[in-house]
Structure formats: structure tokens, C-alpha cells
Amino acid sequence: MANTNKPFGLRPVRHLNGAPWNGAVQKAYVSSLYGTAVFVGDPVVWSPTLTEKDPLAKYPTINVSAGTTGLLIRGVVTAIEPSPTNLSRQYIPALTGGYVFICTDPDVVFQIQDDGSGTPAAVFVGQNAECAAGSGGSTISGLSSFVLDASTPTTTQAHNLHILGLSDIPGNELDDYAVWDVLLNTIENATGRFLGVTAA
């Protein structure tokens, strides 16, 4: 049975040492001047724009990371703080602003679907890959459209994701749109924490 093409961005599942992810997050601010919608599962970076900073200086301000090689990913959006004027909204539209909760622990393992642009193979395990932004996210579910770019796994240290293996979930096959367990590789520096390894 083929895998389902249903992106959800990055989803925290456990710690690298095997402990379950306990839901620990950091609150962050999204400026009403920011022109990109923010979804659950989006990789994010600190905003470099002074006018976007939290006016109360309580929380870091985030932007969505492009997820391409060499770019930082400081964390991943795990939840959106409800808007008092729209309690059913599950994402932050562009130029709206609000608050999100992000996982910034560098040793949290995430699951992410690949985009079907390559041929998933056992050799992916231990390699590094880039993210691809997809269509921007679902305004219905609030979930990100970020995926693992299956055409990019290689040893490149500057790629954002370090592939640990195929996620052990029912129906997940080594085929297009597979779900992978990954670590954020460029969470601390642009050169990458892990040099990808490959089998020959």
C-alpha cells in the first residue's frame, strides 16, 4: 500500500536518548508586520528585523525558516496561541501577528514526510537533507506543508536535517512520501552539527 501524501511539517516525537518528548516549549512572538503565514510544524528562526521585535521584550520574535542548506533552524512551531477574536483559527495569517509555542531542544527527534521528489532508499539513513516549503500550509488544519526534499540526501554538513531512519509507524513504507525521523542539523550553527555519512 502506497504512502499517503499528507504533509504536516516537523512533528516532535521523542528525545535522542529515547525518552518521550515531554511537550516542553518556549513562547515566541510573531509580528503583525511579518508578511508570511505561520503554521504548526514550520521551522523557524529569530527575526533579524528591529521593527518586528516584541514591544514588551518578553519573547523572542520568530520568522519561518526557508529550510534550505546552510540556513539556521532555531526551533519548530508546536502550537499557536488562540486569538481572542477568532478562537477557531489554528494558524497565524500573514500581517496578523500573535504568539506561538516552539520546541528549541536540539536533541528532540522530529518526524517529517518526504516530498516524493527522489527515490527513498536505505542509504538515506545517516545522510543530511534539506527542507522544502511546499504550498505554505493548511488554513483548515493549521498544519505546515514543509517536507523533506527527497532529492537532496547526501553527506553535506550544511543541510538542515539529519536523517535517523524511517519512522516506525503503521503503513509507513520505504517509498515516495515516506515519514522520516530526523534531527535539526543547523540549530546551533550554519555549518551543521552532523557530517552526513553514506554507505558505499
What pLDDT does 131 receive?
95
What pLDDT does 190 receive?
67
* Domain map (residue ranges) of the chain: 1-12+24-186
What pLDDT does 50 receive?
95
Query: pLDDT tens per residue, the chain (200 residues)?
Result: 689 999 999 999 999 999 999 999 999 999 999 999 999 999 999 999 999 999 999 999 999 999 888 888 999 999 999 988 888 899 999 999 999 999 999 999 999 999 999 889 999 999 999 999 988 899 999 999 999 999 999 999 999 999 999 999 999 999 999 999 999 999 877 678 888 888 87
What pLDDT does 40 receive?
98
What pLDDT does 135 receive?
83
Of 178, 176, 124, the C-alpha closest to 154 is: 124
